[in-house]
Amino acid sequence: MTINLQTLKCGECGGGELRRTGLNQYECAHCGSVSVVEDDVSDRLDRVLDQVQRAAAERLAAEEAARRRHLARIAGYAAIGVAALAGVVVLVQLLSPRPEPARRTAVAARTAPQPPEVPPDSLALGEAVQVLAGAGSSARPRLFVLARNQGPLPLARPSVTAVLRDAGGAVIGERRESLPLDVLMPGESAPLLFDLPAGQAVAGQALRAERLEAVRGGVSAPALRFARVRLVQQDESLRLVGLLAHPQPQGGGDALAQCEVLAMVYDGAGAPVGFGRGHAPAGELPPGARTAMDVRIERFGNRQAPIAAWDYRIGCRRAASQPPGGRAALLSADRVVRTEGGPEPLNARLRVSTEELLADDDERFDPARLELGPLVAGRDTVQRPVYLAEIVNRSQEAIALAPAALITHFNGARAAGETLAAGPAMLYPGERFPLLLDPGREERITTTHIEWKPMRRAALPGARPALEVQVTGTRADTSSVLVNFSRRYTYRYAEVSGTVRNTGSAIVRKPVLWVSLRDREGRLTGFTRVDNLGALAPGESLPFQAKVDQRGRDFATVSTLYDAQ
């Protein structure tokens, strides 16, 4: 093997690490090849290797010196920073008040009042019963337990764990639920519903109350009552609505916060058959203010059993503006308000708001002031019999807010169908709202029965946005419709065009028009609803065009009714 003396690399592998192993012998550290060279070549090679080693040593020494200088600069900067920080700390200590000694803080911590201990048997758990909760296809199996505070202290939202077992005693699930109350007062009972595993039969369960805690920082206060409360049944929907008023006058005392209500219903034997929990929509209730609460009650157990009694209880916290106290829970004895009797039935097709149910007597609109006008016989586009009618506001001073009714029509003694009539947001005195009644297979309507929903009233002039509706043109024409590709029917209609102008000072986001056709005697002969108009800025106007099918006699005039939101 030869050695490249110019680059000092092994002739076999090109490696640059050579070491002398004998007289005139050199071994490659990579491939192990041994080279034998002549004496003069060997001497020159030794000298070259010495130079390479000295150059490497000098390079390493220079790098080490540079590293030490860099570390020295960093240490100097750090010392300057530590000195500046120490100066700032000394200055802050000199300018700030001296803290309390640590010994006094420790003594205060030891002497701070601790919440009283709660005996583990303070929460008594009743017998667990498997029930179906919910209605219809959404009903699901649950485990019902009634918990009672039989201790002397109010409990802070106790929780209970249910260990579920199958017929063989094996654990198939574990559920944990908290009572639907922030505070459970002594002597009170509250329900618990545990979900059961799907597809597995639960043969037994073990119940245990988790660590019980007494309420901290509670404040004794009189029990809260609803100023007005109603329990309403609409098919399988059960609602408790209540009006909560702050008992203190405006400007006195603290606000109420985190208000909640628990409502329960009972069957004739006094067993619970449903409960629900609700919250006040407002975060805080200032003194003298009022808020409405709406609770959906879920039935369970024998869901067909009539409700014989119901109760509710209200829990709140005091929203103190300054500590101590903060949001302390109000502790009220005898706060459960019980009522004997069942719910008020309302037709499920009538959508009634909480405000409508809780309106004061002077806020209610008298439904006797609304009149269903005489029925006008007509024909639809395929010549089937229909009837046209109008709801008229006969009041002289009150506006009917969102009037609605369920109209049941009969042919003699036989029911001919139902019509849900929903009017505009505001029906002013003298205004007429059109509707269409379909007798169905009976083909005739002889009598009607009207069930009005609870309605509120407003005094004139009201708050409806001001719109100006002008009819600029009408055109009568005929058209036809083909039924089952075998019979064609001809019907009459009118094209009505006009403009809607916003004469108020606020934007009208969704105007709606009812365009009605009337004969020479002023009776309704057709109408349609136009709800595809865009928003209107103050002073802006939009054109409209409506096709109105003529159901009765020839029309002579056109009238309009508008609603704006």
Token pair for 504: 């108020």
pLDDT digits (tens, 9 = 90+) for 329-359: 999 999 999 999 999 999 999 999 999 999 9
pLDDT at 59: 73
For the domain bounded by 365-459, which CATH number is listed? Answer: 2.60.40.1620
Q: Please calculate the CA angle 318-359-406 and round it to the nearest 5 degrees.
A: 135
Q: What is the DSSP string of 454-480?
A: P-EEEETT-SPPPEEEEEEEEEEEEEE
CA dihedral for 238, 410, 417, 522, sign (positive or negative): negative
- Measured CA to CA, the distance from residue 21 to residue 2 in angstroms comes to 16
Burial of 142 from C-beta contacts in 10 A (0-12 / 13-18 / 19+): buried
Alpha-carbon separation of residue 181 from 191, 416, 474, 525 (angstroms): 10, 49, 64, 58
Contact indicator for 290, 281 with CB cutoff of 8 Å: no
CATH number of 121-209: 2.60.40
Class of domain 221-357: mainly beta
Tens digit of pLDDT for each residue in 49-74? 666 667 666 776 677 777 777 666 76
Of the candidates 320, 331, 319, the one whose C-alpha atom is nearest the C-alpha of residue 214 is 331
Q: Class assignment of domain 465-565?
A: mainly beta
Q: Where are the domains of the chain?
A: 1-101, 121-209, 221-357, 365-459, 465-565
Per-residue burial over 480-490, b = 16 or more CB atoms within 10 Å of its CB, e = otherwise: eeeeeeeeeee
Q: Which amino acid, 488? A: R
Domains 221-357 and 365-459 alike in fold: yes
Candidates 219, 218, 95; CA nearest to 156 is 218
pLDDT at res. 68: 72
- 526 secondary structure, DSSP code: E
CB 526 within 8 A of CB 494: yes
Positions of the chain with pLDDT under 70? 1-9, 11-12, 14-16, 22-24, 26, 30, 32, 34-53, 55-57, 60-61, 70-72, 74-115, 250-252, 321-326, 565
Single-letter residue type at 180: P
Q: What is the DSSP letter of 120?
A: G
